[in-house]
Amino acid sequence: MSRYSAAEIEPKWQKAWDEAQVFRAERSKDKPKYYVLEMFPYPSGRIHIGHVRNYTMGDVIARYKIATGHNVLHPMGFDAFGMPAENAAMASGGHPKDWTYNNIDTMVGQMKPLGFGLDWSRMFATCDPEYYGQQQALFLDFLEKGLVYRKNAVVNWDPVDMTVLANEQVIDGKGWRSGAEVERRELTQWFFRISDYSEELLDALDSLDNWPAKVKLMQANWIGKSRGLQFSFGLVDGPEGHDRVEVYTTRPDTLMGASFIGISPDHPLAKLLERENPEVAEFCKMARQGGTTEEALEKAEKLGFDTGLKCRHPFDTAWELPVYIANFILMDYGTGAIFGVPAHDQRDFDFATKYGLPVISTFVPASGDHTLPEDGGAAFVPPKTETVRWTKPFNWDEMATGEQAINAAIEFCEKNGVGQGVTKFRLRDWGLSRQRYWGCPIPVVHCDACGVVPEKKENLPIELPYDEGGKPIDFSIPGNPLDRHPTWRDAPCPACGKPARRETDTMDTFVDSSWYFARFTAPHADTPTDMAEAEYWMNVDQYIGGIEHAILHLLYSRFFARAMHICGHLPEKSKEPFDALFTQGMVTHEMYAGAVTTKEAGTRYDKDEGEVIAAGRETRSKYYYPEEVVRFEFNGKPKALIAKAVEKAFPEGKPDNATLNEFWETERRKKRKVGEEDISLDVFPSAKMSKSKNNVVDPVQIIDQYGADTARWFVLSDSPPERDVEWTAAGAEAAAKHLARVHRIVSDIATGQDGPQAGDEQLLREMHKTIQDVTNGVDSFGFNAAIAKLYAFTNTLAKSKAGTEAKKQAARALAQLMAPMTPHLAEECWQMLGGEGLIAQAPWPVADEHMLVDDTVTLPIQINGKRRAEIEVPKDMDKAEVEKIALAQDAVIRVLDGAQPKKVIVVPGRIVNVVI
């Protein structure tokens, strides 16, 4: 008997798979193809447990599909452009390219030992010039087809660092490095015309039968189709060229409740007033402060500026409404102008209250008490489907739903020439320009004579410069190094040949990830795709990734697939590139944060508390990795300390929690110098593992200690894959023990003598049930439930007194069912049991239907829905007979106490319910 040693068997079988080229994907007519893809990783430096979970799920599917006779494509690559590489260069010198490729090497080195069935020959990184050159070719094709254009759009501008900030670099409206108030500033940028496809992207969601409903719902809400009315308010004595204000509203039915007109600070009228009136200019400047995110705009205090201008109400020209410039109105959506109805919109209500504007109700609840908003009640905002009583309708019944009223209002307004019914979408065009170095350069040239000229395809790829005039690029200077590069910008105009300037914006990294799945079908083709390969391998049969990508990445990819089809790079069938989608939950972990002093504390004396040193102290937060901290609980509260400091203070070993707590309290009160870290840390609840929060768990330790199969088994067991999982280290050992047990049991069976041969049939029945359950589990992503069945079957097998042949048969089935999850151990077991060839290439076991049905069933007997007894009856016994037996049960007789039951419900094979 041999002992289970992952360290010995895992490399051995990985080599065997390599030699047999089990995972090499080649086109073939003999088998149906199957393309399984997991969202590729960002090369952050180390793989984390979330990656292991993601790729193990994909690998289970891939191996299972190979076993069921499919020709499988299962590739891997890296989403390698992005800000962390530049941030690393900024923080510690070095070059984003070196940082990225080093990280990729490390991560591949960490992934290979996990034994994933990947076709590594297809690997690429999006920062490979070979890849991004083809992306530039795609861009040029899109440009030719009118799918890309330039327009102005706002960015977060840091006025101190003189640079554009990403949303995550704006913290509480301030720049992350400079601390300066961020401004919204307009720049000319490149856009994809995704909004032209709003209707189609929305409608096509219905065809995605194997996508989670919640993802489709989120996308539908994001696209946001709405029907409303576009019309204008006449402006009383407006400035030159402005005789009216065009508005769009989804609630034209509330027009009689309008009390003001609001325009965006970026509205042409506001801009005109801004030039003439310093007060307006000051307000607009203030309104443009803060980040550009929808969240920031929604949460910001609602402020307005009364322009003094008045608009006429379309239905009553004597009725004049004031025109406000308001900071919560977006120029991008609708017409950049709205009319406010305080009675039926909370935001408008708050605004009206603040500026003393009238509140006019147009409808009230259908019944019941109601305090009108104008009489001190709250804004009344029922769902559009609710029937309400109209007090100011214009051509519909007094009792009607919002929906009915909206339609009637649009019809009425159209008939009376007041406006037009318009369908609008919330989806905006996709801005792809980034004022950054580490991304795919946009392949156009700006020529004084010819304007914006596309680069010639034969000049692609336009590569990123590595140096700056022989010197390494200095990333510590804020701003875009491409913009200030001495020579890279110089390029002859592709049209006239005169000296011109390259575009220095690079592409959003979402572009990189919007077509990589197509590139995997022909990763080294000298066009973006090879149609023969794309025709064969597309679509992705099963796509697996995090729920956090439910909207943007998936929507952008759907758009790209359409655009690529238009340009002849993908077949018609690939307009929806992902046939089935599975969104796995995230791996979360609690976070440990401490303070680093940025301004030293003063000292203040308090007569009760004595010396208080925190006064005047300023800090920034620093997050620590789980392995850097000592975590403990005191009085039920989690606390943490920096591990190194604990080791130093208690060299003899980790003390008890009370001592740690005392240490924590003492350290917390210490005065710190600038730059010094606090030793006592706070523990924050679990959140998505992210690089910036340092709460990533490194699986390498687990692999080193227990082996890949344990890590794989562990991430699949316990939690359902679609749910978030809180990572805890306990349990890895249990998984390892179980695998060792399987090895031991199989080894005993393989070498054992014939036993008593009792219960062969029972064991084989269990085997067939397990085959059935595990197969269903794998098919439906119920990996945790499948694993529970495998645990149960292992117990059955261990206890079975069956003969050696039956046991060997059962053990072979166990190995095969485990093979997608723990492939190395399965191969080893397969070999011990005398299985033919590699288990990785053996056909999947099939359950025998006849072995799945039992002759008798156990039926619970309920009385009024409460279980009181149970009976064992033949499975096809008729209802009357079952009822008779049920009513004869002691418990039933006792509760009935001579009375007749009102009703007896018999669900064959399920349950009996006696109603009394």
Partner RNA sequence: GCCCAAGUGGCGGAAUGGUAGACGCAGGGGAUUCAAAAUCCCCCGGUAGCAAUACCGUGCGAGUUCGAGUCUCGCCUUGGGCACCA
Interface positions, 217-236, toward RNA (CB under 7 A)? 217-218, 221-222, 224
Verify binding: residue 84, RNA, rule CB under 7 A.
yes
Q: Using an 8 Å Cβ cutoff, are 331 and 267 in contact?
A: yes
Residue placing its CB nearer to RNA in the complex, 268 or 431: 431
Per-residue contact track with RNA, 32 to 51, x per CB under 7 A? ----------x---------
Q: Min. distance of Cβ 12 from RNA in angstroms?
A: 23
Binding mask 578-597 for RNA (x = CB under 7 A): --------x-x---------
467 φψ region: left (φ > 0), alpha (ψ -120 to 50), beta (else): beta
Cα gap 219→427, rounded to integer Å? 10
- Residues 912 and 868: their CA atoms lie apart, in Å, by 10
Rank residues 553 and 622 by Cβ distance to RNA and give the closer one.
553
Within 358-417, which residues bind RNA (CB under 7 A)?
none
For RNA, the closer of residues 154 and 460 by Cβ is: 154
Question: Cβ of residue 332: shortest distance to RNA, in angstroms?
Answer: 8
Which residue, 516 or 536, has its beta carbon nearer to RNA? 516
Residue 548 binds RNA, judged by CB under 7 A: yes
Residue 613 as a binder of RNA (CB under 7 A): the answer is: no
- Confirm or reject binding of residue 874 to RNA (CB under 7 A): no
Task: Output DSSP code: residue 381.
Answer: -
Tell me the C-alpha distance between 296 and 268, whole Å. 23
Minimum Å gap between C-beta 733 and RNA is 6
Q: What is the rounded CA–CA span in Å between residue 465 and residue 325?
A: 45
Which positions from 510 to 539 touch RNA by CB under 7 A, shown as an x/- string? x--x--------------------------
Instruction: Please report the sign of the dihedral spanned by the C-alpha atoms of residue 483, residue 488, residue 492, residue 494.
Output: negative
* Site stretch for RNA (CB under 7 A), options 459-467, 805-813, 820-828, 864-872: 864-872
Identify residues 715-744 at the interface with RNA (CB under 7 A). 717-720, 723-726, 728, 730-731, 733-734, 737-738, 740-741
Query: 196 or 600: whose CB is closer to RNA?
Result: 196
CB of 647 to RNA, least distance (A): 25
Angle at 127 between CA 118 and CA 442, to 5 degrees: 135
For residues 745-758, b (16+ Cβ closer than 10 Å) or e, as one string?
bbbebbeeeeeeee
Interface residue with RNA among 63, 95, 122, 434 (CB under 7 A) is 434
Please report, as residue ranges, which positions from 833 to 862 form the binding site for RNA (by CB under 7 A): 858, 860, 862
CA 222 to chain centre: 14
- The reply on whether position 905 binds RNA by CB under 7 A is yes
* Residue 683 binding RNA, by CB under 7 A: no
Give the three-class secondary structure for 249.
strand
Among 52, 182, 427, 813, binds RNA (CB under 7 A): 427
Nearest to 841 by CA among 827, 860, 857, 858: 827
Q: Are 71 and 797 in contact (CB under 8 A)?
A: no
Shortest Å, Cβ 820 to RNA: 17
Helices 49-67, 760-779: crossing angle, 10 deg rounding: 120
Q: Which stretch binds RNA (CB under 7 A): 67-75, 82-90, 368-376, 672-680?
A: 82-90
Q: Give the one residue of 430, 437, 517, 713 binding RNA; rule: CB under 7 A.
A: 430
Q: How many residues make contact with RNA (CB under 7 A)?
A: 99
Q: Which helix (H) or strand (E) holds 91?
A: helix 83-92
Window 50 to 79, contacts with RNA (CB under 7 A): 79
Contact 223, 205 (CB under 8 A): no
d(CA 255, CA 241): 25
Nearer to RNA, 155 or 681 (CB): 155
Stretch binding RNA (CB under 7 A), from 108-116, 288-296, 397-405, 673-681:
288-296
User: Can you say how many angstroms the Cα of residue 475 is from the centroid of all Cα atoms in its chain?
Assistant: 30
Q: Which two tokens stand for residue 33?
A: 């193809």
Q: ∠ at Cα 169 (167, 172), nearest 5°?
A: 85
523 vs 638: CA distance, rounded Å:
49
**Secondary structure element (H or E) that encloses residue 53, with its range:** helix 49-67
Whole-number Å distance between alpha carbons of 339 and 691: 44
Distance CA 31, CA 524 (A): 24
Q: Is 913 in the site for RNA (CB under 7 A)?
A: yes
What distance separates the 2 farthest-apart alpha carbons in the chain? 106
DSSP-based three-state secondary structure for 686: strand
Closest distance between RNA and the C-beta of residue 382, in Å?
Answer: 10
Cβ atoms within 10 Å of 31's Cβ, excluding its own = 13
Cis peptide before 84 (omega within 30 of 0): no
Among 130, 181, 870, 883, binds RNA (CB under 7 A): 870
Helix/strand/coil for 864 = coil
Residues numbered 771 to 790 that lie near RNA (CB under 7 A) are 782, 784-785, 787-788
For the chain, what percentages of helix, strand and coil (3-state, to nearest 5) are there? Answer: 40, 25, 35
877 binds RNA per the rule CB under 7 A: no
Nearer to RNA, 300 or 643 (CB): 300
In terms of CB distance, is 241 or 367 closer to RNA?
367
CB–CB of 873/909 below 8 Å?
no
Contact code string over 291-310 relative to RNA, x by CB under 7 A: -xxxx--xx-----------
Work out how close the CB of 245 gets to RNA at its nearest, in angstroms, rounded to a whole number: 23
Residues 115-154 close enough to bind RNA by CB under 7 A: none
User: In this structure, what token pair is assigned to residue 811?
Assistant: 């053990």
- Shortest reach from residue 301's CB to RNA, in Å: 11
What type of residue sits at position 15?
K
Residue span 181-210 as binding mask against RNA, x where in contact by CB under 7 A, dash where not: ------x-x---------------------
Binding segment toward RNA, per CB under 7 A, in 81-89, 227-235, 240-248, 352-360: 81-89
3-state secondary structure of 70: coil
Ranges of H-type helices in 780-853: 783-799, 804-818, 823-832
Within 10 angstroms of residue 727's Cβ, the number of other Cβ atoms is 21
Residue 547, interface with RNA (CB under 7 A)?
Answer: yes
In the stretch 790-829, what mask flags binding to RNA with x, by CB under 7 A?
-xx--x--xx------------------------------
Instruction: Rank residues 140 and 507 by Cβ distance to RNA and give the closer one.
Output: 507
Contact pick of 648, 864, 880, 884 for RNA (by CB under 7 A)? 864
Nearest to 490 by CA among 499, 479, 480: 499
Q: How near is the Cβ of 310 to RNA at its closest, in Å?
A: 29
Q: Kindly state the smallest distance separating residue 745's Cβ from RNA, in Å.
A: 8
Write out the binding residues for RNA, residues 265-284 only, by CB under 7 A: none
Residue 204 in contact with residue 576, Cβ under 8 Å? yes
Q: Which is nearer to RNA, 171 or 532 (CB)?
A: 171
Residue with tokens 């999982």: 725
CA–CA gap between residue 61 and residue 684 (Å, rounded): 35
Task: Show contacts with RNA in window 484-513 (CB under 7 A).
Answer: 508-510, 513
Strands 244-249 vs 225-236: parallel, antiparallel or unpaired: antiparallel
Of 113 and 441, CB closest to RNA: 441
Residue carrying the six token digits 């344990």: 710
Which of 399, 614, 893, 915 is the binder for RNA (CB under 7 A)?
Answer: 915
Segment lying near RNA (by CB under 7 A), choices 96-104, 166-174, 269-277, 643-651: 166-174
| 213 touching RNA, by CB under 7 A | yes
Judged by CB under 7 A, the chain residues 436 through 465 that form the site for RNA are 436
